[in-house]
Structures are given as structure tokens and as C-alpha cells.
Structure 1
Amino acid sequence: MNISSKLHENAKRLPDKPAYYFQDAACTYRELDGAVSKFASALLDMGVKKGDHIALLLGNSPHFVIGLYGAIRAGATVIPINPIYTPDEIGYIINNGDVKVVVALDLLIPLFEKMEDHLPKVEQLIFCETPKEKEQELDVTKLSIFPKMKSFTTVLASGNPLYQGPTINDEEVAVILYTSGTTGKPKGAMLTHKNIFSNAQDTANYLKIAEEDRVIATLPMFHVFCLTVALNAPLMNGGTIIIVPRFSPGDIFAITKKYEATVFAGVPTMYNFLLQYPEANVVDLQSLRLCISGGASMPVALLKSFEQKFNVLVSEGYGLSEAAPVTCFNPLDRPRKAGSIGMSIVNVENKVVDELGEEVPIGQVGELIVRGPNVMKGYYKLPEETAHTLRDGWLYTGDLAKMDDEGYFYIVDRKKDMIIVGGYNVYPREVEEVLYSHPAVVEVAVIGVPDMNFGEAVKSYVVTKENVTEQELLAYCQEHLAKYKLPSSIEFLEELPKNTTGKILRRALKDQVLSK
């Protein structure tokens, strides 16, 4: 079983039930399943073979849902990419991921036209139409990449709604999720059909998502949190997704009330914006039975304030791309513990170990490791990284945690120096590499600092060999990094703190910030 075949099964069982709502229009399970089959068969006609890689550069939309499930039904491997990444970031993932077909927003066509010579493996570009003003419309016939291009509408119209695709093995790779590595280059976590399906099904069952549930999907679908919790999980049990293109507090209140949504999934930043929204109406959220928080630790004060104001349970969980992603959630059948990521979900085992891999006593801090049917196959084309992360059947998360005597886990700190900006992961080394490439920069250290709106912000410290302004360095970063990875400030120092071996001590810089 995989997520696409489960969708087909639900379409036969619940043909006329809404699978999703988007911009006031409903799409039934029968209609969605037919569109998925048409897209899958059209890919076959375009020369896509089982195992080929297809990249999705899309926002939250029916295009993403049909593209994901259609590619999987065709036996292809899907690589979701954040469409606001810079050309450098997009180009690296497409080339490293051996992408054959790109499905992207039509707004990105000019970008691909400029990148054409740098993407030798891409054979086809399917562009998805977005509403725009007449003067903004694009004349695609004038672009040199045009022979490789087809519109999503045209591709879909050419497909067979009865096509069910090739036989797919559970251990074949369904999705490759690129996550930033400590070297600064993204690593592709290979998730099999078993990984994706089991985690979606187990999460849906653990959170009791059922046919009557209507789940708001406003987290980005290209991110594994939304992909599993707000997209795949509802479709596993016949629920309905409410697709929201972008997060806006006002829209969430209005949409929740209009569709009587029952489940909302978000990162702590979203909950803070909802709580602080001046026109917030408690009545608008009264249909919610459950709010899900992940992506970063939620401040206990925020959690309690939100629950008290809106009278709805907030269940915190934990996950990572390499685990498809969910490993823990606060259970719904017993008291929720504020500050905890909850307990192991069904079929997944979490454990806290020391440097030797031995389980530590209850209450003691160690590294969180995970095993289960959701754990990735490995990193794409990175056998050494895979061997380091997957050991003796366990996934080493790199996060420091502890467990209490009731089996609840708590994240204590990040073993790696990861910075979480509004739920997005930013690795210091990636930002440092960009700054290091500037000719005026000699040394760099990047840390995360507290931020009232986004949890954390990126702060950079630099040592330079010639005069350069903060504005010039920030402008340079904007050319090479996505917006959420950009430093909020750059501070100039005569020298950076180092240990006796010459290693730069980020922790010393962070301690200085926290002591102020």
C-alpha cells in the first residue's frame, strides 16, 4: 500500500465526499483520484519512467496535491522544493537530485529560462498557471526553454482517468526531501513508500483524524510537517483538507468559521500571531477540536495562553525529515504535558542514549534516537553521511532530549547548531559559506538569537580585511539565500572567540547575547 493507492481506495469508498476545498471550490475524492490518474498517465506519455525524479516547486494548491499523488502513482520519485529559494539553491537540488521533470509555478518560468544551460538533466518543464493581471501575463513563446514546456492544464487534459500505474514496491523511494546539512550543502533524505504511507497512517490514527475532520493546510506543502500531518494524514482516513495558499491570521479565523474546521496545524510563530491578532474572535475557532504544533519548541506561556483564550487543546509533537517526519505527539487520551513533545506514536520507538549508544536513565539528557517503519532509507548519494546517521537500525537525530517516568519526551537543546526561524530550519554553516565567499570577509560565525515574532533570528559575526558595510553584506546574502535564512543583523568584530585548536566557538557568542 502507498498513499496514492490508498487515495484510490478511498475514492471508491467515498466518491462524493470532498477531498479538499480550495478558494471556495470543492473537489471530491472521485474527482481528485481521476485527476491523479490523468497526471500519472500523462507523465508516462511524456517519457517518464518508473524511478525517474520529478521536482515540485509549488505553493499550497491543487497542483501540488495532484502533482505529488500523480507522480507517485506513475512510480516516479518526488522532490519538493521551496519555490522561493534562490536560483543557486534551486539549481543545486535539481542537479544533485537528478531531476528529469520540473513542475513549477509559471511565475518561475523566467528563472528557468535563465537557468536552462545549467540544468542539463531536465527534459520537461510543466508550468502551473496562476491568476494574474493582464499586463503581467507571460508570452511563453518568446522563451528559449519553450520547446521543453507544457502547461499543467494541457498535461492533465491529455491523461487517462482510469490509469493506475505500475506495480510499486514498498521499499522503492517515493520522496526525496532535501534538508540542510552541516557542510552547508543540502542532503536528500530518501523516504520510501513504506516510510511515507506508514507515518501518514500512524499519525492520522494517533491524532484520531477521521472522515468528519476538516484539516487546515496552511503550512507549506513542500515542507514535511504539512506534507504528512495536514495533507497525507487526512487523506488516509477520508478526511477533508482546506487548502490555504498562505498564512494570514485574519484568513485563518474566517476560514475556520466558514468551513467549521476541526484541526489546525501550525508552528509556534503562527499561534503567536493568532493569539496577538487584534480582531481575534474566540467564536470563530470554536469548531476546532485539536491544534497541532511542531517545527520548533512552543513556549509554555504561549501554549497555555492560546489554550485558555480559545478553549482548544494544543498537542505538541516532534519530527524530522529523515523520519517522514513524526516520531512523537502528546496523546489525546491522557493529560497533555506543556513543554513536552509527547510520547512515541504507534509503531515508532524513541530512545535517549549516551555517546556509546546506551540508553540513559530516566530524566538524564542524551541524544534522541528513533526507529520504525518511518525511518528513511538513507541520504541520496551520500553513503558516509547515511552510515553516520543510521546505526544498528536506529536514526540518530542529533537532538538532545530526556524522558520522564511516564514516557514523555522533552527536547533540551539542539546537538547541532540549528537555528529555527518561524518553523524553518537554518544551519549556520550554510549562511557562513555565503559570507565567506565575499572577498572582504575573513572569518564568520553565525548563531541564532531570540526573536519575539519568529522564535529565533539569524545573527552573523564577521571579521573583515577591508571596509565593507553591513548593508553591502546583507545585499550580498540576499543574492544567495532564501529570505528566512538571511541574517537579521551583522556585527563586526576584531576577532572571533576560539578554543586552543583554533575552532571558532559559536557557543561563546551565544552566551554573550543571552547574558545581555
Structure 2
Amino acid sequence: MQRPHHPFWPKRLPHAMTPPQTSLWDNLAISARRYPDKAALVFLGRVFSYAQVQRQAERLAARLQALGVQRGDRVVLDMQNCPQLVIAHFAILRANAVVVPVNPMNRAEELKHYITDPDAKVAITTADLAAELARASNALPAGERLAHLIVTHFTDAFDPADTGEPLPAAWHDWLLTRHALPALEGGAAMAWTDALDNALPLPEPTTGPQDMAVLPYTSGTTGLPKGCMHRHASLMHNAVASAAWSNATAENRTLLVVPMFHITGMVSVMHASIYVGATLVVMPRWDRDLAGRLISRWKVTTWTNIPTMVIDLLGSPRFDQYDLSSLVHIGGGGAAMPQAVAQRLWEQFGLRYIEGYGLTETSAPSHSNPPDAPKQQCLGVPFVSCDARVVDPETLAELPPGEQGEIVVHGPMVFQGYWKRPDATAAAFFELEGKRFFRTGDLGRMDEDGYFFITDRLKRMINASGFKVWPAEVEALMFKHPAIQEACVISARDAYRGETVKAVVVLRPSHKGQVSEQDIVDWCRANMAVYKVPRIVQFADALPKSGSGKVMWRTLQEAEPAG
């Protein structure tokens, strides 16, 4: 069926792809056989070859089997980016088990849910987080606790005396401090080095495309986080398609700084890169100057990111010292890239910022901009093998181009459903033209060319005297102000209008003390429809962000009534 976006589709790519009918583990095994001595991971001065990554993953898989992990068991993986995360991820898959990736920012009370809901008995974590995970387990009833905790230090993967690039000062204690193994009530903690030091037999590989591979959790608007059941097939499709979309080859050198506990870092960066045999330059967390030095030193070719990272790097006072000339592909999602920043990337570096869109439920991209025909401030077109529509949220009838409704998605990248939540699964899907579509909960529209644009979450709308204000639109406009580094628009109570528009603004360091709240309001009044203008502007040192770098607008919104 011809869709409006087909004329803009990359001519080198088919509209749908047949992914390999193998497990995700096979991607690492095949790349290690093809490129045994090639750099798979670069981390703080140390290089891990593909053969080394495979060998360590197999040793850890053998240990997991010895600890009682069986086919289909769920294993918690709670880490910031590091080589051990990649090794552990593939080890869990090699043990025929299921990865439960957890945001390392979670505290004990939150972590309890990630142990009990997936019925996990084994967890793998870093030493800085181990005590918190043990505290969560120890607080649970005896039958629900972890039985085993494998703990690694960051320094198991790099030499503190030879980090290649100077470490940010704020990282020293975090990365270098040695921690004692925590006490695990009713279980046992084991050091990473001891876990890998074995000659245990490997389990037979028995998983295939239809088996569950990963159980990532998504928070939604209410209640406890829900696990998204992803088979090897759904992640495999988007890993292979992401590599093809960005023209990836084994010669790619990819900066991996988006978190791998998050679906984008896991699928579009880690799995896509391992599939083609590329090199991943791994950062444990974001630091703009280290990123600039790593791109320069390792001649990074590909960088998937959150737009806030690009904004931050471009704002570095040392930016002129960095060489970005090796970059040939840059893109990301999670938030709209401000038009002014995208324009600077194009004019200064000849780089088109490729925005995409996806959810935990869709294995990352369900939409992406065609690399040769991107539109700014746009989600892009439905991704490889994806059928996406805009429907009326009430009637679920498809809407014509230009009309706003809920974005819905069908394709091989869509998850199977929510773990132990048949009610939530039933509510998330509906049938259209004989296909099972997933309801994203995001409001958007499709233009005449078939490109999708987001307007906001289904419930994120400000009704000011009957005028509907979409915060994402106001934020995009505010980014054009030269003093504004970041902005988040929320609703505030108003005795006359019911609701009014409020903007929480982070100023660029160069403009602090030189621009007032009223200056921002006046600029907005001159640059947007009056009903969209923030009546209230509040300056902040930073905006709250999730572990994946998204601005947590709900945190600001929920704090507003109390304020």
C-alpha cells in the first residue's frame, strides 16, 4: 500500500526488512568470529576486542547457570554504561535467560519492584549501587529476595593510572572508590572477577526469535512501572533496521553515552553496533568536555544522543578545541531538537540532525527522519516495517493528514504486552484494518508528506480560557531566545483563565544576571500568539531529567499546585 511518505524514503532501503531468525546472542558470536581482534568496546583508555567480550560473556553465562539461572529466568541488570553492562547483557542472553534492565538512579524502595515483579533471583550491578540493591532485597519477605548478587567495580574494566583522557573531577570518587561486598540476607554476593574466574560448562543455547529476551520497565502516568515483554525478534528487527537506516558498517566508531538501560541505547546503539561489528566508545555518563575529547581522539563517526547533550557540548567554552569533522551521522530523540541548534549543526558542520521517535514498547524507533530528507522539529516517517497512523483518541477512527490525534503503531518492533498485566495490555492495543495497533498515548499529526509531528502527551495540554496550548510548541519557540539554554512549559492555576502558561527556564551561563523574567515574557509576546505566552517565568539552575536525559515535566507540574 502506497503511503504519503514513500516518495521521501531512502532509495537504498526497502520499506520492510526480514531480520535474521537467530537470537541476539548470535550477533555477538558472529561478530567475534568475523572480527576477533577488532575493538568492540573502548572505555576510559582500555580497549576490549570482540573475542574478549565474547569470552567474558560466556564465562559469566556459565556462572549464571551454576547459580541456578534457567531458561526464561529474569536477571536484573542495574548499571551505568560500562563494558561490564555489555558483557552481562549478552551473558544473560547466552544463559537463555531474560535481561531486566534497571535505571541505576533508582533507590531501594523503587528497586523492590524490579526484584519482585519479574520474580528475579539473581542481579548484576556495580559496586556503587550494590548496597542499595542489597538493601532492597533484604527488606523483602524471605521468599521474594535475591539469592545471588554479582558485583563489579568500574576499575575491573580500566586502569586508573591510564585512562587515556583526564577523568572529570566529579567522577573520581564514584569511579575509583572500592566498596566491600554487601551482606545479602538469605543469599550471597560475589565479586565480578570471581564470577568470571571459572571453568564451568556452558549451557546449551536454546533460545530463538520467539523467546523473550528483555523485560524493560516503563513508568507511564500512574501506578507502578510495567514490564514490556520483548522477544529476540522485536529487538533484532530494530537493531538490524537501525544499522541499515544510518548506513552503519563495521568501520563505524560510535559514541555510546545514551544509557544502555534505556531502550534507545540498548537497541539502536549497542545491539545495532554489535550486529555490524562496529566499535563502541563508551561513556559511563554525560560530560561535555570528555565527549568532545573522545570524539576528537577516536574519530567518532556516529553519535546517537539526547538533544540536550548537543546543546551542552556546543555551549562548552572549550568547544573550539574539539574536532567533530569525523562525524557523519548524528541524531536522537527523547525531546525535540531546537531548530536553531539543528541549523547550527548544518551550517557549521554539514550535519543533518536526524530526529526519531519511539517508546520502550516499540524497541526504540517507530519513526525516524530519512537521512537524506529530514524535517526539523519532526518525528520523521514510520520506520522500517512500521505502519503508523493518527487516530481519534475516543473513536479510534483514522484521521486525515493535518488533524491532531493519537499516534498508533503496528509492526515487528512492537512488544508482546505488559508482564503480568493483561488488563494494561488489552487497554494498550486495538484492531484497525485487521492489524493489532499499539496506542502510544502521544498526540501528534501527520503532514501531507507523511511525516509525523508530536504535539504532546495525551494529557499534557493547557486550557487557557478555552485556548488549547501545547507546551512542546511553546518550548520550541522559546529555544530561539539567545539567553535560553533549556525551558519546560507547564500549566499554572489562574483565577481568571482557569489555567495559564508557566515556563521554567535555565539561562545560558553567559546571560545569567543580564536577563530578567520579564525580558523573557516580553520576548515571547513578540514571538508567539498571545495566548501561548508564558504569564509566569521562573528561573532554575537545572531542569529535572530522567536517567535517559528526558526533561521530567511531570515533576515540575506536580510541584506546581503546592507552590
> Shorter-normalised TM-score: what interval?
0.7 to 0.9
1:378 to 396, 406, 417: 417
- The offset of 1:184, in angstroms, is 3.1
Gaps of 5+ in 1: 429-444, 455-476, 495-516
In the alignment, what sits opposite 2:452? 409
Counterparts of 1:145-160 in structure 2, within 5 Å, are 145=185, 148-159=188-199
Q: In the alignment, is residue 129 of structure 1 matched against residue 153 of structure 2?
A: yes
> In structure 2, what is the equivalent of residue 294 of structure 1?
333
Is the 8 Å Cα contact of residues 115 and 137 (structure 2) preserved in structure 1? no
Once the two structures are aligned, what percentage of the paired residues are identical? 30
Are 1:179 and 1:187, in contact at CA under 8 Å, matched by a contact in 2?
Answer: yes
| Aligned CA distance change for structure 1 residues 189 and 30 (closer, same or farther; 3 Å) | same
The answer to whether residue 273 in structure 2 is matched with residue 273 in structure 1 is no
1-side partners of 2:561 and 2:86: how far apart?
46
Query: How far off its partner does 1:189 sit?
Result: 0.9
Distance (Å, rounded) in 2 between the aligned partners of 1:310 and 1:257: 14
Instruction: Return 34-43 or 380-389, whichever deviates more.
Output: 34-43
Match of 1:5 in 2: 26
Match of 1:352 in 2: 390
Equivalences for residues 244-255 of structure 1 within 5 A: 244-255=283-294
Corresponding position of 2:45? 24
Structure 2 Cα separation of the partners of residues 249 and 452 of structure 1 = 17
How far, CA to CA, are the matches of 1:356 and 1:17 in structure 2? 54
Q: In the alignment, is residue 339 of structure 1 matched against residue 377 of structure 2?
A: yes
**Counterpart mapping for 1:322-333 below 5 A:** 322-332=361-371
Q: 1:169 to 1:183 in 2, by over 3 A?
A: same
Q: Aligned partners of 2:116, 2:271: CA distance in 1, in Å?
A: 27
In structure 2, how many angstroms separate the alpha carbons of the residues matched to 1:12 and 1:492? 59
**Matched position secondary structure for 1:201:** helix
The structural deviation recorded for 1:144 is: 5.4
Shift of 1:356: 2.6
TM-fit CA distance, 1:206: 1.1
**RMSD value over aligned CA atoms?**
3.0
Are the equivalent residues in 1 in contact too, given 2:61–2:95 (CA < 8 A)? Answer: yes
Contact 1:271–1:306, Cα closer than 8 Å, also in 2: no
Distance 1:209 1:249 in 2: 25
- Where do 5+ consecutive residues of structure 2 fail to align? 1-21, 156-171, 462-470, 476-487, 491-498, 509-543
Q: What letter corresponds to residue 339 of structure 1 in structure 2?
A: Q
Give the 3-state SS of the residue equivalent to 2:280 in structure 1: strand
**Equivalence map 1:166-315=2 (5 Å):** 166-281=205-320, 284-315=323-354
Q: Does 1:86 align with 2:107?
A: yes
**In the alignment, which of 36, 39, 64 is matched to residue 43 of structure 1?**
64
Shift of 1:451: 3.8
Does the CA contact (< 8 Å) of 1:282 and 1:309 recur in 2? no
Alpha carbons 1:218, 1:245 under 8 Å: kept: yes
Counterpart CA distance in 1 for 2:224 and 2:415 is 19
Deviation of 1:164 (Å): 6.5
Where do 1:110-121 residues align within 5 Å? 110-119=131-140, 120-121=144-145
Q: Contact 1:58–1:82 at 8 Å: present in 2 too?
A: yes
The whole-number CA distance in structure 1 between the counterparts of 2:246 and 2:92 is 27
Q: Is the 8 A contact 2:138 2:184 kept in 1?
A: no
One of 84, 91, 96 as aligned partner of 1:75: 96
CA offsets, 1:371-425, max 9 Å, x none?
Answer: 111100100111010011122211111111111222211112211449999xxxx
User: How many residue pairs end up in the alignment?
Assistant: 443
Change (3 A) 1:146 1:255: farther
C-alpha distance in structure 1 between counterparts of 2:322 and 2:136, whole Å: 49
The alignment status of 1:396 with 2:476, answered yes or no, reads no
Q: Is the 8 A contact 2:109 2:136 kept in 1?
A: no
Deviation at 1:483, TM superposition (A): 12
Instruction: State which of 183, 203, 211 in structure 2 corresponds to 1:143.
Output: 183
Q: CA deviation at 1:336?
A: 1.4
Following TM superposition, by how much is the alpha carbon of 1:492 offset from its aligned partner in structure 2, in angstroms? 5.7
Query: Deviation of residue 493 (structure 1)?
Result: 6.1
Q: TM-score, normalised by structure 1?
A: 0.79
Q: CA deviation at 1:8?
A: 0.7
CA-to-partner distance for each residue in 1:345-370, whole Å, 9 max, x for gaps?
21122111223333211222121111
Alignment deviations for residues 276-306 of structure 1 (CA, whole Å, 9 cap, x no partner)? 1111127511100011121112222222123
| Whole-angstrom CA distance in 2 between matches of 1:361 and 1:286 | 42
Q: Distance in 2 between matches of 1:207 and 1:13?
A: 21
SS in 1 for 2:76: strand
- How big is each residue's C-alpha offset from its partner over 1:109-133, in whole Å with a ceiling of 9 and x where there is no partner? 3324433433424111001123487
What letter corresponds to residue 124 of structure 1 in structure 2? H
DSSP 3-state at the match of 2:269 = helix
Structure 1 residues 159 and 66: alpha-carbon distance in aligned structure 2, compared to 1, 3 A threshold:
farther
In 1: Cα distance, 2:105 partner to 2:322 partner: 35
2:513 aligns with: none
How many angstroms apart in 2 are the aligned matches of 1:493 and 1:153? Answer: 49
Letter in 2 for 1:129: H
Q: Distance in 1 between matches of 2:454 and 2:79?
A: 32
Query: Helix, strand or coil: the match of 2:215?
Result: strand
- CA shift, 1:263, in A, is 0.6
Distance 1:148 1:109 in 2: 12
